[in-house]
Structure 1
Amino acid sequence: MKQRLISLDVLRGLTMILMTIVNNPGDWGHVYPPLLHAEWHGCTPTDLVFPTFLLIVGVSIVLASPVKVLNGPALQRIVTRTLRIFCLGLFSGFFVRIHLFGLEGNALLAARLVVTAVVVVALFSDYDRKWQFITAAGIFVLMIVLAFSGIEPFNTVRIPGVLQRIAVVYLVASLLYLKTGWRTQATVGVVLLLAYWGIMTLIPVPGVGEANLEKGTNLAAWLDNLLLPGHLWASSKTWDPEGILSTLPAIGTGIAGLLIGTMLKSEGLGKVEKVKYMLTGGLAGIAVGWLWNLAFPLNKALWTSSFVLYAGGWALLLLAVLYYMIDVKGHSKWTTFFVIFGVNPMVVFFFTGMIFRILNAVKVPNPSGGSEKLDFVPYFYQYHLVPVFNDPRNASLAQALLLVALWYVILLFLYRKKLIFKV
C-alpha cells in the first residue's frame, strides 16, 4: 500500500461525514441553517462540502502518481476508473426503477439487490485490466441506452450527479496532470474560470433573452434542458446543480487540487514552508473569490468562478491546519475516527442511498390507525425520534447522526480488516 498523507485522509473523512449529515436529515423542513445549501446566491458551510471533496480528488491524483507517464496502460486505468465512478452514480438513479417479472414488495427488493450485487461485483472485481475496462464500458453503455430508450421506468432517470461530476473531473484532471506541468495546469484553470464567467454573463440565453444568473433561466440551465431533457435533477426537472456547463469550473476546482498536490509532493520545500504556502493560498482564494462575488455571485448550483476560489480557499485553509497538526507536529492519535471514513469514501457515497431504500422497503403498521402501512425510516423518525426531542431540528439532526454512527460501525469493520475498496 502506498504511503498515505494522514491529514488528507482526515480531511476526506471529515468531508464524507459532513456530506452524510447534510444530505440525510430526518425532516427537510426542520434543519439548522448552516446545514442547508444557500437558496441561490450565497454560500453556507454546507456549500463548501462538495468542492472540498473535488479539491481532494485533485490532490490525490498527484500523490497517487509516482511517475508522470501517460502511456496505454495508464490511460486505460484512468478511463476505467472514470467509467466505474460514473456508473456507480448513474446506477443509484436506476435502482428504484428496476422492475422484473412483475415482482412487488420484498420480492422486488430482493431482485433489485441481486442486480445491484451483480453490478457492484462486476465493477469492483480485480481481474484482467482489459476486461475491467470492457465491463465498465459495457455497463455504462447499457445504462445510457436504457435511459434514452423510451422505456417508461428509465426515461426520467437522472444522468448528471455528484459521482458523475467527480468522474469527469477525475478524468480531465488526471490527463492534464500526466501530460502537462504545473504552469500549464494553472493556466488552464484560470482560462476555465474566466471563460465560464464570460459565457454565463455575456452570451444571451436562447428563448429567454439577455444573459442572466437566475434560477432556471440562465445559459447553463438552457444547455442542460437542451441536451438532457427529462434526465435532470428531480427537484427542478429543467436544470441540474451538477449540470454540463457548470462542470467546466468544477474542473478548475480539481486543477487547484493538482497544484496543491504538486506543492505537497515537492522535495524542495520543508513542511513548515508548505503550511505557509497553503495558508497564503487559502486566504488569497477567499479574498479574490469574495471580491469576484461582487460581479459574479457565489453560487454552488452554478459553480461560479468566484465560488471555486472562495470554496477552494476555505478547503485549503483547513488542509493547512490539519497538515500542520498531524504531519508537522505529529498529533495524530485523534485521527482514526476520520481516517476510517476517509479511506473508503466511495462505499459511503454509493451505499448511503441504498441503506434508506432497503430500510424503507420494510413496512410498519401505522400507529395512528388506518390500513396503509408506513415506510420504516419515516415511521422510526416520526414515532421514535421526534418524541424524544423538544426541538424538531434536533430530531432531524439526530437521524443524520444515527446514519453516521451506522456507517462508523461498518467502516470500522472494513478498516480493521484492512479492506479499502478502490473504484
Structure 2
Amino acid sequence: MKTRLVSLDVLRGLTIILMTIVNNPGDWGNVYAPLLHAEWHGCTPTDLVFPTFLFIVGVSVVLATPQKSWDKGVLQKIVTRTLRIFCLGLFSGFFNKIQFFGLEGLPLLGVRLMITAIIVVALFSDYDRNRQFIAAVFIFIIMMVLAFGGFEAFKNVRIPGVLQRISVVYFIVSLLYLRTSWKTQAAAAVLLLMGYWAIMTLIPVPGIGAANLDKGTNLAAWLDNLLLPGHLWASSKTWDPEGILSTIPAIGTGIAGLLTGTLLKRDFSKSQKVSYLLIAGISGILIGWLWHFVFPVNKALWTSSFVLYAGGWALLCLGILYYIIDVKGYSGWTTFFVIFGVNPMVVFFFSGMIFRVLNAVKVDNPAEAGQETMDLVPYFYQYQIVPQFVNPMNASLAYALLYLALWFVILFILYRKKLVFRV
C-alpha cells in the first residue's frame, strides 16, 4: 500500500499557496518585489514556484510506484494521465473562446460552464482504464482540431502552458523511472542541461544572427514562433515562457525529483537522508549561481543554471521539512498546508474559472466614468478592499490573501469529505 510522505505534501501545499498569492494580486501595478517574477535574468521567490512543483512531480512518480513494472497497461495509464493534464491546461485557454455552436438560447457563460462540466467529468472520473484512455485521446484530438483546423475563434488559443509542461515532464520522467536506473537518469539530466546550454549559446538564431539570451530574439523564441505562430503567450505573442525548447531542461528538474524520490526510498537512516538532501540542496544553489555568470539564471528560458539553482532550493526546503516532520515528529502544524497539497490540480484548473464566473456578474459603477456597470471582482477590490488600506501594495496583497482564504474553504471541505481529485 502506498503511504503519503507528509513533508512532501507540506512542500506541495506551500508551493500551491505561494502560487495562489503571486498569481492573484488585487493590482498588478502594486505588488511587493518578491511576489513578482524577475524581469529577465535573476530569480525571485516567485520564480521558484513552478520548478518546485515540477521537482515534486518527479519525487511523486517514485513514491507512487511501489515497484517498477512495465506492460501495456502501465504505458496506457501514463499516456492517459499525460493527456488528461495536458487537456486541462489547454482548456483554460479555450474557455473564453468557446462560442454558442447552435446553443443561442442559452447564456454564453452557461454554455461555457456546461462544456467545462463535461470536460471535468471526462478527465477526472475514475472509470474503466480503457474508457479513461479513449476519453483523454478524444478530447485531445478535438482540441487540436479546434486550434489548428482554421476555426477563427481558436486561431490564437495558447498551446504551451504550465499544466502542459507538467504533463510532458511527467510523461518523460515516468518512462525514465520505469525503464532506467538512477545512474542513467542522472546521466540523462547532465546531458540535457549541458546540451541545452550548448544549443542556446552556440547555435546562431536564423534570421537574427549570433546566439543570444535576449528576450524575444533567442533560439527558443525563434523555435516557438516557427512551430506555434499565433498560439503563444498573449503577453509576448512571439515567444512563450513554457515553450518547446525550454521544456528540455525542465525535464532535468523532473529528473532531480526522481533522484530525490529514489533517495527517500533507499534504506538509509532518516538522519542520513536529511544530510544528503541538505548537501545536495546547498550544492545545487552554489553551482547554479556560479554557472549564472556564464549561463544566467533565467526562469523564462529555464536555463540549466536555473534548474540547478531552483532545484537546490527545492531540495533544501524538502530536507528541512523532512527533518522537522519525519525525523523530529513535529507534525501538528501541518494540516493547513496538507489541505492545499493533496488537491493541487483542483486549484490549477479552477483558479482562473472562478474569476470568469464571478465577473459574469455586473454591478453598478459608482464612478459612472462612461461605464454604467463593471465586473464584480474589480468592483469588490476597488470599492471594498482599497479603501481599507493606506498603502496600495498592502491592499493588493490583502486581496490575494482573501482569495487564498476562499480556496482554503473550498479545499477544507474536500479534505473533510476525503475527496482527492487525481487526473
TM-score, normalised via structure 1 length: 0.98
Structure 2 counterpart of 1:398 = 398
| Map of 1:175 onto structure 2 | 175
Could you give the per-residue CA deviations for residues 132-172 of structure 1, whole angstroms, max 9, x where no partner exists?
A: 00100110010011001121110000000000000000000
After superposition, the C-alpha distances for 1:338-374 in whole angstroms (9 at most, x for unaligned) are 0000000000000000001101111111111245310
Give the letter for the 2:95 counterpart. Answer: F
Shift in Å, 1:233: 0.2
Distance 1:382 1:149 in 2: 41
Measured after TM superposition, the shift of residue 111 of structure 1 is: 1.0
**CA distance in structure 2 between the partners assigned to 1:101 and 1:263 by the alignment:** 52
Q: 2:234 corresponds to which residue?
A: 234
CA distance in 2, matches of 1:77, 1:235: 35
Q: Secondary structure at the match of 1:316?
A: helix
Q: Distance in 2 between matches of 1:20 and 1:316?
A: 22
Whole-angstrom distance in 2 between the partners of 1:274 and 1:126 = 35
Corresponding residue for 2:55?
55
Give the secondary structure class of the aligned counterpart of 1:374: strand
What secondary structure does 2:170 align onto?
A: helix
For each residue in 1:40-64, what CA deviation from the matched residue of structure 2 results, as whole angstroms up to 9, or x when unmatched? 0000010011000000000000000
Equivalent in the alignment of 1:86: 86
Question: What is the DSSP-based 3-state SS (H/G/I as helix, E as strand, rest coil) of the residue aligned with 2:289?
Answer: helix
State the distance in 2 between where 1:105 and 1:129 align. 36
Moved over 6 A (4+): 102-106
Q: Number of matched residues?
A: 422
Write the distance in 1 (CA, Å) between the matches of 2:381 and 2:104. 25
Other-structure match for 1:359 = 358
For residues 279 and 198 of structure 1, do their structure 2 counterparts lie closer, same or farther at Cα, with a shift above 3 Å needed?
Answer: same
Instruction: Output the CA distance in 1 between the equivalents of 2:120 and 2:20.
Output: 21
Note if contact 2:59-2:259 (Cα within 8 Å) is conserved in structure 1. yes
2:159 corresponds in structure 1 to 159
CA 368–162 in structure 1, closer or farther in 2 if over 3 Å, else same? same
Query: Structure 1 residue 103: deviation in Å?
Result: 6.8
CA contact (8 A) 1:169 1:254 kept: yes
Residue 97 of structure 2: SS of its match in structure 1? coil
- SS of the residue aligned with 1:315? helix
Structure 1 residues without counterparts, runs of 5 or longer = none
Confirm or deny that 1:322 pairs with 2:321: yes
**Structure 1 stretch displaced more, 97-106 or 161-170:** 97-106
SS at match of 1:96: helix
Q: Is the 8 A contact 2:2 2:63 kept in 1?
A: no
Deviation at 1:402, TM superposition (A): 1.0
Q: Which amino acid aligns with 1:64?
A: A
1:126 aligned to 2:126? yes
Q: Does 1:410 align with 2:397?
A: no
**2:336 corresponding residue in structure 1:** 337
Other-structure match for 1:115: 115
Alignment of 1:128-207 (within 5 A): 128-207=128-207
- How much has 1:127 moved relative to structure 2? 1.5
What is the TM-score when the length of structure 2 is the normalising length?
Answer: 0.98
CA distance in 1, matches of 2:115, 2:376: 23
CA distance in 1, matches of 2:60, 2:101: 44
Q: 1:357 to 1:202 in 2, by over 3 A?
A: same
Distance 2:27 2:222 in 1: 31
- Conservation of the 8 A alpha-carbon contact between 2:342 and 2:420: yes
1-structure distance, mates of 2:8, 2:37: 24
Contact 1:105/1:361 (CA < 8 Å) preserved in 2? Answer: no
**What is the distance in 1 between the residues matched to 2:70 and 2:302?**
29
Equivalent residues in 2 for 1:97-116 (5 A)? 97-101=97-101, 107-116=107-116
Q: Is the 8 A contact 1:297 1:306 kept in 2?
A: yes
Q: Which runs of 5+ in 2 are unaligned?
A: none
Q: Which amino acid aligns with 1:141?
A: I
Asked whether 1:275 is paired with 2:274, we answer yes
Deviation track 1:186-228 (CA, whole Å, cap 9, x = no partner) reads 0000000000000000000000000000000000000000000
- CA gap 1:105/1:26 in 2 versus in 1, 3 angstroms: farther
Contact 2:205 2:211 in 1 (8 A): yes
CA distance in 1, matches of 2:190, 2:31: 36
Equivalent residue for 2:77? 77
Deviation at 1:336, TM superposition (A): 0.2
Q: Which residue in 1 is equivalent to 2:36?
A: 36
Matches of 2:101 and 2:40 in 1, distance apart?
A: 43
TM-align CA RMSD: 1.2
Alignment partner, residue 6 of structure 1: 6
**Conservation of the 8 A alpha-carbon contact between 1:70 and 1:175:** no
Shift of 1:2: 2.6
* Residues 364 and 379 in structure 1, CA contact (< 8 A), matched pair in contact too: yes
Distance 1:327 1:96 in 2: 44
* CA distance in structure 1 between the partners assigned to 2:35 and 2:152 by the alignment: 35
Partners of 1:336 and 1:74 in 2: CA distance? 32
Q: Which amino acid aligns with 1:97?
A: K
1:101 deviation in Å?
4.8
Rounded Cα–Cα distance in structure 1 between residues aligned with 2:118 and 2:175: 30
Contact (CA 8 Å) 1:106, 1:361: kept in 2 or not?
no
Given residue 45 of structure 1, which amino acid in structure 2 is its aligned partner? Answer: P
Shift of 1:102: 7.1
Q: 1:124 to 1:411 in 2, by over 3 A?
A: same
Give the share of equivalent positions with the same residue, in percent. Answer: 74
Structure 1 residue 399: deviation in Å?
A: 1.3
1:71 Cα offset (Å) = 1.0
Say yes or no: does 1:295 pair with 2:294.
yes
Contact kept? 2:2, 2:66, Cα under 8 Å: no
